[in-house]
């Protein structure tokens, strides 16, 4: 049985930073960058790809393109999204 590991704030910041650098079509668990970052976070590539797709569901640019992303964005995802969109330069995007 898999035990869900909650995402930390630092992990969400790293994932959000990666989301800002990849086009929507690159949010795939088989992409080398996603595999590499997931390993550094101690997560599976699928878990990271899903988190990136959760961020896509919050992205107004993707929404304007009729891209929905995944519907499982958490409160923490939404908070990081808001922080990033308000402070992109400070958070490294």
What domain range includes position 14? Answer: 9-91
Contact (Cβ atoms closer than 8 angstroms) between residue 49 and residue 5: no
pLDDT at 89: 64
Domain-embedded: residue 68: yes
Task: Determine, yes or no, domain membership for 62.
Answer: yes
* pLDDT, tens digit, 9 for 90 and up, residues 50-86: 999 999 998 888 777 777 777 788 999 999 999 988 8
Question: H-type helices in the chain, by residue range?
Answer: 9-21, 32-41, 45-56, 60-64, 75-86, 88-91
The CA-based angle 26-23-32, given to 5 degrees, is 35
> Against a cut of 0.95, is the pTM above it?
no
Q: Give dist(CA 22, CA 34) in Å, integer.
A: 10
* Cα gap 39→8, rounded to integer Å: 15
3 inside domain: no
User: Per the domain annotation, does 44 fall within a domain?
Assistant: yes
Task: Grade residue 90 by pLDDT with cuts at 50, 70 and 90.
Answer: low
Number of domains in the chain: 1
């Amino acid at each position: 049985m898999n035990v869900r590991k909650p995402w930390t704030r630092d992990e969400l910041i790293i994932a959000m930073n990666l989301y800002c650098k990849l086009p929507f079509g690159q949010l795939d668990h088989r992409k080398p960058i996603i595999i590499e970052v997931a390993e550094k976070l101690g997560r599976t590539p699928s878990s990271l790809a899903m988190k990136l797709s959760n961020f896509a569901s919050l992205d107004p640019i993707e929404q304007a393109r009729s891209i929905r992303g995944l519907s499982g964005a958490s409160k923490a995802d939404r908070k990081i999204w808001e922080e990033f969109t308000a402070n992109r330069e400070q958070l490294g995007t």
